Amino acid sequence: MAFDIAAHLGAITREVRDLEIEGQPAKVIVASRVYDTTPADLWDALTQPERLKRWFAPVTGDLKLGGRYHVEGNASGTITACVPQDRAELTWEFGGYTSWVNFSIVSAEGGTMLVLEHIAHVSPHWTQYGAGAGGVGWEMGLLGLSEHLRRPADDVRAEGVNGWETSPEAKDLVRQASAAWGEAEIAAGEQPEQARRAAEATRRFYSGEPPQEA
């Protein structure tokens, strides 16, 4: 399966923010992209299990306000806010840790903008991998979403289909996206050396390479 990597990388806006949640310092990664579709269609692609499994992953559960969901092979959580065709908020529970994912839909020139936020407490994991740990993973999903909106009947997941995630094309996406998230961290005030080291750690992780030496 071939994806337009250059178009995807150029279409994503990346931002890193600081905040406090539950009394602890936290980081927010923000990925935004305008898709050539309507708010209703984008909302449907983001919330309907039959569509989610073709571009993201199989998702089961009670997909409504207050309901529990489960992403196959990944996180589970609770839907804490849901306004159709506008926004949704949910907990993201994985590996014994809880973070938070919000997405909103905004009408924009040329189509409809998706704004995705992933909020996590500052931790040793963040120090090691930085914004790219979550950012690159979400970009794999958003890449699949862009193709899904063009071919909604096809299975176009960037991960888990025919081993695409191990291809040279996928590794090129990981390399460039990791670096871009590192630069977003620098723009948010992180020291360049630390941000770029974390970006390289992320690149190695997603590329299946051994960690860099301490």
List the domains of the chain with CATH numbers.
5-207 (3.30.530.20)
What is the pTM for the complete model shown?
A: 0.94
Q: How many residues does the chain have?
A: 214
Per-residue tens of pLDDT for the chain, all 214 residues? 678 899 999 999 999 999 999 999 999 999 999 999 999 999 999 999 999 999 999 999 999 999 999 999 999 999 999 999 999 999 999 999 999 999 999 999 999 999 999 999 999 999 999 999 999 999 999 999 999 999 999 999 987 666 788 889 999 999 999 999 999 999 999 999 999 999 999 999 999 999 987 6
Tell me how many degrees the CA angle 27-104-118 measures, rounded to the nearest 5.
20
Instruction: Give the residue ranges of DSSP H helices in 63-157.
Output: 124-129, 132-150
Cβ neighbours of residue 166 closer than 8 Å, sequence gap 6 or more: 208
